[in-house]
Amino acid sequence: MVSSVILADKTINYRYVTFSSEEIQYRLLDGRHAHEGRVEIRFDGNWGTVCSNQWDAIDALVLCRQLGLPYAGAQAVLNGYFGTGHWQMEIWLGNVNCIGSETHLQECHHRGWGVENCEHYQDAGVRCINGMEKVDLFYCF
């Protein structure tokens, strides 16, 4: 099962990059370039977010790798740093704990789809980078 890019809309400055894995889709929103952003997952027909409780670099690595993005130095971004999902959105995953060998984030241990104890201010994000990258070169202040 290989993830594939189904949309990379460069016209809005990498705000919206989407990847899919069968019915489950992923996108990174509101980053400053295509390799970072708030993590959103489409499950059961609805986009939702990930809670950043227990969200860490291993979890970020699995997601970045599955998206085909740089991942060796992947960083977990916590507590709505890249903005928050709409208040009506689901928070699909919480207490995500990957061991690093998973192919897709949804295979990592978590509380169960939609079983969370979070608020959207805790929405998780990622920076998908390799350790040696000087990521600031990508930023446009």
What is the nearest approach in angstroms of Ca ion to the Cβ of residue 23? Answer: 24
What's the longest Cα–Cα distance across the chain?
39
- Give min distance, CB of 63 to Ca ion, in A: 11
Instruction: Report if residue 54 touches Ca ion, rule: CB under 5 A.
Output: yes
Residue span binding Ca ion (CB under 5 A) among the ranges 40-48, 50-58, 80-88, 116-124: 50-58
Taking contact as CB under 5 A, which single stretch among the options 24-32, 44-52, 56-64, 113-121 is the one that binds Ca ion?
56-64
Select 32 or 110, whichever has its Cβ closest to Ca ion.
Answer: 110
Residue 59 interacting with Ca ion (CB under 5 A): yes
Residues near 11 by beta carbon (within 8 Å), at least 6 away in sequence = none
Q: Does 56 bind Ca ion (CB under 5 A)?
A: yes
Q: Provide, rounded to whole angstroms, the least separation between the CB of residue 108 and Ca ion.
A: 8
| Contacting Ca ion within 81-110 (CB under 5 A) | 97
Long-range contacts of 71-76 (CB under 8 A, 24+ apart): 71/128, 71/130, 72/129, 72/130, 72/131, 73/129, 73/130, 73/131, 73/132, 73/133, 74/126, 74/127, 74/128, 74/129, 75/126, 75/127, 75/129, 76/52, 76/124, 76/125, 76/126
Q: Site residues (CB under 5 A) for Ca ion? A: 54, 56, 59, 97
